[in-house]
Structure 1
């Protein structure tokens, strides 16, 4: 869906992005991470031509972005930012319906789409349609921003630190909601964040940038298990990388076949993470768990030794 070929961006004598190549597959959530000034937001904004690239090529669905009319391009790509960018003198419903109106959708279709998205984002029409941005909490305003980005049903969604200004509890709630939303909609998303935990939670593909270059990219587990250098290892949590890996690794990857004579009363779902399994062990003072399926039927077992990867047991 999105391809960058040796893309460079220079501002006067400064190189913000330096010859990067990247491919984002259809339906994939790609997170760009790195320290401040590494070029991740510039990379994002070059995709929808808010910033023009200096060299290289950017393709959307096989076509160079410069073959598209700028305004048409931006209307077909959803864009959500940290500050929401909502018009303060417009109601929630009017803000969400902006792009469909610009695309000259029939009024009835716009109204239907606005209601659909407000329901999807947990913003009941009766309660929120006529409110103004200043009457919303930070989390509610960010939901409206995401709804507006999705209004014209774009194939691509660009998100630049969308939850960065929110308190930790609201941020975590919206991260979970975005994961659930993506599971339903399967959009192609490029997501910029400085929060590595957020990136690890959300990303299918993780891209670590430094000084305008891509240092390493791959799945979160690939990077956690094999960081290319000390910088990437540090970005991923340093000595805490093992715990972050446990938060992404499913129990099913480490469980052993069930031993009927050793069934434990302490249980964990096979789709739970190793981090969740460890929490159960601590809470229930158990060094062995019975692994169950969605119907609570035992399908395997997990010991503390196996959880930390000490090898297969007799």
Structure 2
């Protein structure tokens, strides 16, 4: 008997079919990989399996075969049916239609399912890492749960951050703590929607492998979406390939992944561009924080760096190296603790360490920053997000034309872009929202664009599109880009220069291929995927 059955499921948003007659059976203890480009329906399917109200099927059924305790209503996997529950009652096998059952049954099943969403850092920001994990246990005073929490931190490679405050973590580190919190709930089903979307591919593989051994030992069924075909191949027992809401192929991971990779386009050749004069200058730049548990945290520690006009520059390093803090200093979001940072506006150099409209206030309107934990306005359409939501007051027809232009620039086909304008963010996949957020930056035509982990949640095809959009924007609009990334493959494809950071310090600066030679073995393992 299968554990989960998806029967003839169809789901529409605004009369657009996003899941089209899906039929699927998932076995207990199985790791099912779902492969597909952004917008194929992967996240919609996971949210439907979780029981999120907005994702109720328009047609079809989602059926769970479970062991159910009639006394305490505890739900478990079907293989435990007939066993004695902790309350003393014997469990019975039940077939429960998730979207057509009693309210009690619905909540009992939903409580036993964990889901980890793309770029969702739902943490207690003022609590330590270990306290965040402990809050996931029903009995937080149980000493055995402390040991379980530590094991989860080791599994996610975060044991070195046990006593750190959550707000001090990098985006990638926060993602791993969220993963540990979800596992601490001891689910019978774990749904992972790009669970390590902001991590480099090698670290993602390590974490996924540890997760796989952990869930297998506990007989937890896992359904995982990932934009990294290699991860899907390594971890899954079986893979389905979704495209435009349909399962177009299913089978062994190596077979499906091989077919999927063949569809990834190669980047086109771009002509060499002339790099201009210095645009951003940093000299002995520092940003220190004080933490009650860690003392002085040197996020940026004496960085000296020049970025030239028209350059696609990158700042690279492992998670927690200080890259994001440096980007916030450049964007004028935070003030340096010491040192100098200047940005040229026209022919005049502006001191970014000074507040006010005559200093960094003159420059910040000309800088676009896409955070790795970006968000769109949920109650505005995509057209609204690209125009009035960001105070871009344009005549209606011109606003629509300009919106279509930037959407095609970030990889949407013309017909896709036109259909997106009246949609809302929650009707789109994570990868599609990411591209819209990038378009939201580009439409304001800033002189300097800072992208913090721009490829974090993207499938390989979309990743190629983003590379193209950056190169095209530089050619057509004379924009300067600063890429904050641990994805060295992307940097090698896209960037003119790379600045290598470790523990807040700038170690080296040069062409990306030269920086590859300066990587430590750990950095090389975690930051490189295709290149050696």
For Structure 1 versus Structure 2, the TM-score category normalised by the shorter chain is 0.5 to 0.7
Q: CA offset at residue 166 of structure 1?
A: 2.6
CA contact (8 A) 1:82 1:165 kept: no
1:83-94 equivalence runs, <5 A: 83-94=373-384
1:100-139 equivalence runs, <5 A: 101=391, 109-121=398-410, 122=412, 124=414, 125-139=417-431
Could you say which residue in structure 1 is the equivalent of 2:523? 235
1:191-202 equivalence runs, <5 A: 191-202=483-494
Residue segments in structure 2 that go unaligned for 5+ positions in a row? 1-278, 291-295
Equivalent position SS for 2:422: coil
Calculate the TM-score normalised by the size of structure 2. Answer: 0.41
CA contact (8 A) 2:321 2:503 kept: yes
Equivalent position SS for 2:531: helix
1:22-171 equivalence runs, <5 A: 22-61=305-344, 62-65=349-352, 66=354, 69=357, 73-98=363-388, 101=391, 109-121=398-410, 122=412, 124=414, 125-171=417-463
Could you say which residue in structure 1 is the equivalent of 2:285? 7
Structure 1 residues 26-52: Cα deviation after superposition (integer angstroms, max 9, x where no partner): 011111111121110000011112222
Equivalent position SS for 2:319: coil
CA contact (8 A) 1:206 1:217 kept: yes
Q: CA offset at residue 174 of structure 1?
A: 2.8
Q: CA offset at residue 23 of structure 1?
A: 0.7
Q: CA offset at residue 106 of structure 1?
A: 5.7
Task: Pick the structure with more helix per residue.
Answer: 1
Distance 1:52 1:123 in 2: 41
Instruction: Show structure 1 runs of 4+ deviating over 6 A.
Output: none
Calculate the TM-score normalised by the size of structure 1. Answer: 0.67
CA-atom RMSD in angstroms: 2.8
Distance 2:310 2:506 in 1: 21
Q: CA offset at residue 152 of structure 1?
A: 1.7
CA contact (8 A) 1:84 1:162 kept: no
Distance 1:164 1:151 in 2: 21
Q: CA offset at residue 58 of structure 1?
A: 1.3
CA contact (8 A) 1:33 1:207 kept: yes
Range that drifts further, 154-163 or 64-73: 64-73
Distance 1:14 1:119 in 2: 42
Residue segments in structure 1 that go unaligned for 5+ positions in a row? 246-314
Could you say which residue in structure 2 is the equivalent of 1:292? none
Structure 1 residues 257-300: Cα deviation after superposition (integer angstroms, max 9, x where no partner): xxxxxxxxxxxxxxxxxxxxxxxxxxxxxxxxxxxxxxxxxxxx
Structure 1 residues 44-85: Cα deviation after superposition (integer angstroms, max 9, x where no partner): 011112222111121111211236536664332111233432
Q: CA 1:111 to 1:171, structure 2 compared with 1: closer, same or farther past 3 Å?
A: closer
Q: CA 1:158 to 1:30, structure 2 compared with 1: closer, same or farther past 3 Å?
A: same
CA contact (8 A) 1:84 1:145 kept: yes
Q: CA offset at residue 237 of structure 1?
A: 5.5
Could you say which residue in structure 2 is the equivalent of 1:312? none
Q: CA 1:140 to 1:21, structure 2 compared with 1: closer, same or farther past 3 Å?
A: same
CA contact (8 A) 2:497 2:511 kept: yes
